Amino acid sequence: MTILDGKKVSNDIKDEITEQVKKMKAKGEKVPHLAAIIVGNDGASLTYVGSKVRACERVGFESTLVKMSSTTSEVELLDKIHELNENPEIDGYIVQLPLPDQIDTQKVLLAVNPDKDVDGFHPANFGKMALDMTTFIPATPFGILELLERYGVETSGKHTVVIGRSHIVGRPMSILMGRKGFPGNSTVTLTHSHTKNITQITSQADIIISALGVPNFLKAEMVKDDVVIIDVGITRVADDSTEKGYRITGDVDFVNVSKKASFITPVPGGVGPMTIAMLLKNTLLACERHRKRA
């Protein structure tokens, strides 16, 4: 059994990006600039955005953090997005979700310039991804592809089962794993809350990508020997024996499933660190595209 070490791979990617940025600076080129908008004071969102800012510092990117109050109106947020769309210094930006109830998330995501949509959530980018065109792939699915590629996990002709159909992970993964090329060329089954006999489906899978958000959902009896497990789930579970009073748990019963798996991602330290690394990679790609156009 091989651990798919997202922490190590993400550090490798950051080192590679750092080298590219040094070369850009040496040539006198503009370095990539990533911005993030956060509305409100959600603790998890603040932590996540803070780690993105630190990651930018590490690789030599410029970064801008736009903090807006929880009472921000939809119009005010759309004005700020328009400002970032028009700012030539900003190569890419993200709007941290979730947004407060008074703001229509769909309207906000549609307002983002697809050329700066490094989260890959805009319908224009999602559509291009579905059509195998060059575009920004959402950061978490992009990270999963990178892990599979760097560890040489065979995907061609394999049966991939995706658990969960969110627009952020499940649905894009189902498209990407079925595309031509590597990683891809697998036969994909997309399962969700209305799927019947899910154990029957998962027990036939060569690769399982679980993005359900239900702690320890996937048990050892639900998988076959030598299965490849990608656990995207990340849930805080109360645990008084720890200093923080909780532990981070994935969708997979790691202790028991890992005994049957050929490859498996840990939680934490698997898919999570890859997400930020690939957001940086998308920002680098955006900067290079903008430079070529200019």
Which residues participate in catalysis according to the annotation? Answer: 52, 96, 119
Q: What angle do CA 270, 274, 276 make, to 5 degrees?
A: 135
Please provide residue 262's backbone torsions phi and psi, each rounded to the nearest 5 degrees: -90, -40
Listed residue (211, 188, 213) closest to 201, CA to CA: 188
Question: Is 164 known as a binding-site position?
Answer: yes
Q: Which residue has the tokens 């906000």?
A: 108
Secondary structure element (H or E) that encloses residue 130, with its range: helix 123-130
How far is it, in rounded angstroms, from Cα 46 to Cα 39? Answer: 10
Question: Is 234 known as a binding-site position?
Answer: yes
How far is it, in rounded angstroms, from Cα 255 to Cα 259? Answer: 7
Coil vs helix vs strand at 37: strand
Which segments are annotated as binding site for NADP(+)?
164-166, 234
